[in-house]
Amino acid sequence: MIEDLKGLETWRIFRIMSEFVEGFEELSDIGPAVTIFGSARFHRNHKYYKKALEISCLLAENGYTIITGGGPGIMAAANKGASLNKVISVGLNIVLPKEQKPNPFQNKSLNFKYFFARKVMFVKYAMGYVCLPGGFGTLDEFFEALTLIQTHKIYPFPLILVGKEYWHGLMHWIRTTMLKDKTISKGDIELIKLIDDPEEVLSVINSHRDWKMKKIQQSNKRKSNTRKITGNLIES
Predicted confidence at residue 220, as pLDDT, reads 82
- pLDDT at position 101: 81
DSSP state of 99: S
Give the pLDDT confidence score for residue 150 in this predicted structure: 97
CA dist., res. 165 & res. 221, Å (int): 45
- pLDDT at residue 193, as a whole number: 97
In this prediction, residue 232 carries a pLDDT of 57
Q: What pLDDT was estimated at residue 192?
A: 97
What CATH number corresponds to the domain at position 126?
Answer: 3.40.50.450
pLDDT digits (tens), the chain, 236 positions: 455 555 567 788 899 999 999 999 999 999 999 999 999 999 999 999 999 999 999 999 999 999 999 999 999 999 999 999 999 999 999 987 765 688 999 999 999 999 999 999 999 999 999 999 999 999 999 999 999 999 999 999 999 999 999 999 999 999 999 999 999 999 999 999 999 999 999 999 999 999 888 888 887 877 777 666 655 556 65
Q: What is the spatial distance between Cα 51 and Cα 166, in angstroms, rounded to a whole number?
A: 13
pLDDT at 213: 85
Count of the separate structural domains present in the chain: 1
Spatial separation of the C-alpha atoms in residues 205 and 114, rounded to whole Å: 29
Edge to edge, the sheet with strand 192-195 lists 108-112, 89-94, 65-68, 33-37, 129-131, 159-162, 192-195
Q: Which long-range contacts (CB under 8 A, 24 or more apart) does 58-64 make?
A: 58/198, 58/199, 58/201, 58/202, 59/34, 59/201, 59/202, 59/205, 60/84, 60/85, 60/86, 60/87, 61/85, 62/202, 62/206, 63/31, 63/32, 63/87, 64/31, 64/32, 64/33, 64/34, 64/205
For residue 169, what pLDDT is reported? Answer: 97
Report the predicted TM-score, pTM, of the whole model to 2 decimal places: 0.88
Domain that holds residue 9: 3-235
pLDDT of 9: 75
- Pairing of the two strands 108-112 and 129-131: unpaired
Q: How far apart are CA 69 and CA 38, in angstroms?
A: 9
